[in-house]
Amino acid sequence: MIDQNSDVTFSHLKIILEDMPQIQEHIKEAHVGEEVREKTSESAFADIYNRRFPIASKADEVMSKIDVALKIYDVPSTIFETQKIAYSSAEPDYLLESQKKLPLTKTTLTKTAEKYLYNNAFKLRPATLSKAAVKLVKHASSRGEEVSTETLKYAGLVQANLTEASNWIEARSYKTKDSTHAKAYTKLANVVSNLGKGTSRDQLIKIANTLENLDSLSGLDVHYHKNLPDSISTIFNTKLAMAPSVEMAGKDIGLEKLLAIDPYVYGDILGSDVVEEITENGELDSQKLIEVFETLPSDMKTLLVEKLSL
């Protein structure tokens, strides 16, 4: 049950105002929060038992007190009227969004979706596979299911053996017939070999994207899924889940769990402003997410853990 003291980020209030903008002039600035609730007399609440709705015991008592308050302050009932809008049925979500293929519904088993995806993997670009894998991780999380190591790999959620990655990139320099491409591979291999163990997931994904572009230019991408690992598999080349985690409410929450949650869910809990702080081009950025979540107040961390059942 949400009131102004528990809606500390005003995310629910914003939704109400979008639906009923006419009540905005009736909203007054006030101090809110659990501390305010504790200091307020019981008689000042419509819901005395739960100390909610300043002006849950039984609902009829709550509504009667709210009705009395509306009459006292002469608030017209018409401001609570909403306009009914007809919405068309939502289009299904697709694993391959750009192609409108492999529809994904709430009843779709994660294993079934994975099977369909990887049966068609040889037809897809690594970047397309990666986007589908991220979507699969989120889908599995919502169903309380696990994904395969293959899906974690394409979602960029396994650790990278940088030495092995560098060797595979260097090997490409000997296979390409273009000296310019060969030099580019060698340079990229040197960059990867000099990366530290603390290199972020997002940096590794950028390297994988660079490698994919180079493979496409050199024509070596025709060997993907045959005798050459694609760009994602070259970089994210182990079966070990990513180690980074964030301490929240006395728990170490794995990065893979946090990245599986839709950024707008975080916005609903912490306020819409947080979405821009933790995303890049609409997708969750692991480094930004870690930086923001590590600096959250303890009560906010506890709220996240409780709301998301982490």
- Outline where DSSP puts E strands in 59-188: 93-96, 101-104
Domain ranges of the chain: 11-80, 93-154, 162-235, 245-308
Q: Strands 45-47 and 283-284, how do they pair?
A: unpaired
Model pLDDT, residue 159: 85
Whether the per-residue pLDDT at 98 is higher than 50: the answer is yes
Over residues 283-306, mean pLDDT:
83
Residue scoring higher pLDDT (249 or 161): 161
Separation of alpha carbons 13 and 172, rounded Å: 56
Whether the per-residue pLDDT at 29 is higher than 60: the answer is no
Model pLDDT, residue 102: 82
- Specify the amino acid at residue 82: T
Over residues 85-94, mean pLDDT:
59
Separation of alpha carbons 36 and 32, rounded Å: 6
Model pLDDT, residue 33: 62
Whether the per-residue pLDDT at 241 is higher than 70: the answer is yes
Model pLDDT, residue 175: 93
Model pLDDT, residue 180: 95
**Which of 56-60, 180-184, 297-301 is the most confident on average?**
180-184
Judged by average pLDDT, the poorest of 43-47, 54-58, 128-132, 251-255 is 54-58
Q: Strands 52-54 and 45-47, how do they pair?
A: antiparallel
DSSP, collapsed to helix, strand or coil, labels residue 54 as strand
- pLDDT band for position 310 (cuts 50, 70, 90): confident
Model pLDDT, residue 211: 96
Whether 248 contacts 305, CB under 8 Å = yes
Whether the per-residue pLDDT at 275 is higher than 70: the answer is yes
Backbone angles phi, psi at 229, to 5 degrees: -70, 140
Whether the per-residue pLDDT at 235 is higher than 90: the answer is yes
Model pLDDT, residue 194: 93
Whether the per-residue pLDDT at 120 is higher than 90: the answer is no
- pLDDT band for position 168 (cuts 50, 70, 90): very high
User: Residues of the chain with pLDDT > 70: what percent?
Assistant: 70
Place of tokens 């979602």: 155
Model pLDDT, residue 265: 87
What's the pLDDT tens digit per position in 126-141?
888 888 888 888 888 7
Model pLDDT, residue 259: 82
Model pLDDT, residue 281: 79
